[in-house]
Structure 1
Amino acid sequence: MRRADEGQVVVEGCARGGRSAGGGAGRRHRDRRAGRRRPVFWRVPATAVQVAGLGRAGFDVGESDAGAAYVVGDESVAVRLRALGYRPSYFDTVYKDLPAGSSRAAAADTFYGGYRTVAAQEAHLAQVAAAHPDLATVYDLGPSWKKTKGQGGHDLRAICLSKKQAGDCALSTTSPKPKFVLMAQIHPREISTGELAWRWIDYLADGYASDATAKSILDTTEVWVIPIANPDGVDVVASGGNSPKLQRKNADNSRGGCTGTNIGIDVNRNSTFQWGGDSNSPCAETYQGASAGSEPETQALEKFFRAIYPVQRGTGNDDPAPATARGTMITLHSYGNDIVIPWGFTQATSPNDAQYRKLGAKFTASNGYVVGTNRETVGYDTSGTTDDFTYGALGVAGFTFEVGASSGTCGGFLPRYSCVDSTFWPKNKGAFVTAAQAAAAPYRQ
């Protein structure tokens, strides 16, 4: 892990749900005639137990309702479901058409109406550090899978924002200020999340001189932002241009002979904490990898978290983080309008469940999202996730935000770019502020 020169970053060179669809079948037939295999939603009648089983089996389960789950995938996924005895029915395409009025010739560093590429995000961090040397420091956290293989790739990058005094924005577990980390796009296709990270950075850095809340946060807190936690995957998504590719995993193609967006390991199932409860099928969307922490992206993230947060709870699942524990973390995902709290790997609640729900209620006051465990929100358990790691291994109050609704213009994996400013940022800005303000004592709200 190394710090980039302040003001300068070297750029290395050379789930959920669906919506009702009038005419859906007709669109499907048109897509077939065009030779496309676009992922769609399949409505799968299923009990709650069966929904959980689908998730464990590696299906990309989005939202579930009283009698069904919605599974993302092309027609080969429907074939697999039928082979298991399910009766999937076509629901709707997960793609949204390019927003009306958007330029078909997007800028070179954007795609799908304005969403930023990895290169744009990297340049943005460098620009912020150069413009605000008293507030911003950029770090390289470690390489992506492709970079470790000499196939291009990127370093994962983080920016620390604080009014810098002695000891601030260092990779230290004993630095004086409490820390809040916001992380985005560990699942690359969840494209609105990287844009929220971008706006949060600008709000703090540009607002320090004129916004009392931004000034107060940076005077008292270290705010760390990882705008793209899976850069190789984001490259795959952006390569689709106006029809972004739905890459969920990283770019590790070393197992299973998978093709297209089925390659890779789900970095949000690869954590070293409670790893091993998700899919062992390399081509599954929730493939957990061959071993805990096998992926360089996971290694970089966990090394970073351990570098800035001390261990603040015992090793037992029932050991609570003490009231004196510091630190908050939000990992941004889409979609579902949920605030997910530990545990994910078990149906049991965490020993800090009551404190989690109190802080979650403060977030909800801003964004209106539903607070609950994985089972209470998405309807199934997960293992090897980032929020379980930061809480379980370190005692940090880690949350997952599922940004956006399951339907409508601002719903799904690929909402219109305009939704970031019209909906997602206004809803979540206050929640991010609350998380930063709570970093000093998240369990004493």
Structure 2
Amino acid sequence: MASRSLSRLALAATGVVLSALLGGTAAAQPAADTPVFWRVPATAAQAHALENAGFDVEEGDAGAAYVVGGQAVANRLRALGYRPSFFDTVYKELPAQANSLAADTFYGGYRTVTAHENHLTAVAAAHPDLATKYTIGQSWKKTKGQGGHDIQAICLTKKQTGDCTLSTSSPKPKFFIMAQIHARELSTGELAWRWIDYLADGYATDATAKSILDTTEVWVVPISNPDGVDIVASGGNSPKLQRKNADNTRGSCTGTNIGIDLNRNSTFKWGGDSNSACAETYQGVSAGSEPETQALEKLARAIFPDQRGTGNNDPAPTTAKGTMITLHSYGNDIIIPWGFTQATSPNDTQYRKLGAKYAASNGYLVGTNEETVGYDTSGTTDDFTYGELGVASVTFEVGGSSGTCGGFLPRYTCVDSTFWPKNKGAFITAAKAAAAPYQQ
């Protein structure tokens, strides 16, 4: 589904050679029911057809796509004339102590939705001068009376009159970061957790944290798809690979094929992705159909003024304020608009300069969809916040495609050993840039 340069393919292949993550070698065949990444030689059109046929098609490289599944999926691919080969494991080997996990954690330490909710409550209680917690909407299950969750956000700043008040005219510029809109992308929620703690706990002792909160509002939605994360966490040490939300009203989908891809459901330029209900990129029946999407867009409209014209080629002015990062995995990419078209955005030059500053910390590749993941994406959150509101918005794809710290389910220790050290500086840069992101 994605086109990668040959140099990036070589790096991915190196990761395969180095990983013997389930006690075997990269060439070993998995057990019949163990999902793995299969490398499938395919054109972009073939990868799209596989996706519409219900295959879980993920990051690719030059001339191939990666498909997630067990031996049955590989057999289906072979029956269609494809030649899948084992690429990497999905589940990474857990340390022995992970067999006895703390409450509200799973798969080596990743936090559940309840743990994130409790964390926001605790931060707001411990730092009333810095933190304000908001309920911005409800998950699909909660709207249906089937359990579910409130969708929660936290605003962090050294509070003065008018701060963190859901106002487009509040005095401080704003940096908005959101995570785990794709539920199985586990590292992203943990990065949001660490960012919150760095600012709230560090304000008293860290000059950079203090400077940010003295001058900027930082808004964080650590779990954008709580129903989906519940499904993932229900697998415990074998997390379920749920990407979408839990809306099961469309199609005859089962298991982790249910739901709507919330990052294809936004109201800006919706409609260019899959209409197949069981596809991982199913966009829903209409733009903004899902309550999670509605909550995220309502928050963005409540805190950012409309700073851009309505045409595709209308740039955000150099005076526009606000930055936004939506966290995804995997890919080691910083993806700049546009997503819905191969054309570059009217702020492309400014985006590349800002992206280069982010990349100075994390080393990720900066580029458009075509230059990074290799495919168009309609109805995405960053296209919405930039396209409708003019906010300088990007996607971070955290982590590589293979190895212990690769894929959707990296070993939990990778968060502190790799992902947080790489991205902390990029988040700081985004917060500092919020006052004038197009003047970098």
Q: Following TM superposition, by how much is the alpha carbon of 1:115 offset from its aligned partner in structure 2, in angstroms? A: 0.6
Amino acid at match of 2:438: Y
My pick for the range that moved more, 255-264 or 82-91, is: 82-91
CA distance in 2, matches of 1:123, 1:155: 12
1:43 matched to 2:77? The reply is no
Residue 68 of structure 1: which of 43, 53, 64 is its match? Answer: 64
Q: How far has the Cα of 1:92 moved from its partner?
A: 3.4
Residue ranges of structure 1 left out of the alignment (5+ in a row): 1-14
1:19 aligns with 2:12: no
Is contact 1:96-1:415 (8 Å) kept? Answer: yes
The number of residues matched between the two structures is: 424
Matches within 5 A, 1:108-187: 108-187=103-182
1:267: which partner in 2?
A: 262
- Counterparts of 1:192 and 1:140, CA distance in 2: 23
| CA distance in structure 2 between the aligned counterparts of 1:239 and 1:270, rounded to whole angstroms | 25
The reply to whether residue 89 of structure 1 matches residue 104 of structure 2 is no
Task: Please list, as runs of the form range in 1=range in 2, the aligned pairs for 1:353-364 lying within 5 A after superposition.
Answer: 353-364=348-359
> C-alpha separation between the residues in 2 aligned to 1:102 and 1:290?
44
Please give the root-mean-square deviation of Cα atoms over the aligned residues, in Å.
1.9
Once the two structures are superposed, residues 7-35 of structure 1 have per-residue CA deviations (whole angstroms, 9 ceiling, x without a partner) of xxxxxxxx99783565467552xx33xxx
Question: Counterpart in 2 of 1:429?
Answer: 424
Question: Offset of 1:45 from its aligned partner?
Answer: 1.0
Give the SS at the match of 2:175.
strand
SS at match of 1:360: helix
Partner of 1:6: none
Q: Distance in 2 between matches of 1:310 and 1:145?
A: 27
Kept in 2: contact 1:162–1:169 (CA 8 A): yes
Q: Aligned partners of 2:118 and 2:385: how far apart in 1?
A: 28
Point out where structure 2 has 5 or more consecutive residues left out of the alignment.
Answer: 3-11
Percent of aligned pairs with the same amino acid? 80
Query: How far apart, in 1, do the equivalents of 2:350 and 2:38 lie?
Result: 37
CA distance in 1, matches of 2:49, 2:317: 34
Question: Does the CA contact (< 8 Å) of 1:252 and 1:265 recur in 2?
Answer: yes
Are 2:52 and 2:279, in contact at CA under 8 Å, matched by a contact in 1?
no
Query: Which is further off, 84-93 or 339-348?
Result: 84-93
1:406 to 388, 401, 410: 401
Change (3 A) 1:38 1:364: same
Question: Do the aligned partners of residues 365 and 54 (structure 1) sit closer, same or farther apart at CA in structure 2, a change above 3 Å counting?
Answer: farther
For normalisation by structure 1, the TM-score amounts to 0.91
Question: 1:410 Cα deviation (Å)?
Answer: 1.1
1:251 to 228, 246, 249: 246
Q: TM-score when scaled to structure 2?
A: 0.92
Which of 283, 296, 316 is the equivalent residue of 1:321? 316
Q: Which of these residues, 305, 308, 315, is aligned with residue 303 of structure 2?
A: 308
Check if 1:287 corresponds to 2:282: yes
| Aligned residue in 1 for 2:236 | 241
Distance in 2 separating the partners of 1:442 and 1:275: 26
Measured after TM superposition, the shift of residue 73 of structure 1 is: 3.1
Q: Deviations over 1:63-102 (max 9, x none)?
A: 322232212234554466456553333433311122x233
Q: Comparing 176-185 with 105-114, which one deviates more in the overlay?
A: 105-114
1:53-64 alignment, distance < 5 Å: 59-64=55-60
* Cα distance in structure 2, aligned partners of 1:132 and 1:62: 40
* Alignment partner of 1:371 is 2:363: no
Is residue 278 from structure 1 mapped to residue 273 from structure 2 by the alignment?
yes
CA contact (8 A) 1:57 1:279 kept: no
Contact kept, 8 Å, 2:342 with 2:370, in 1: the verdict is: yes
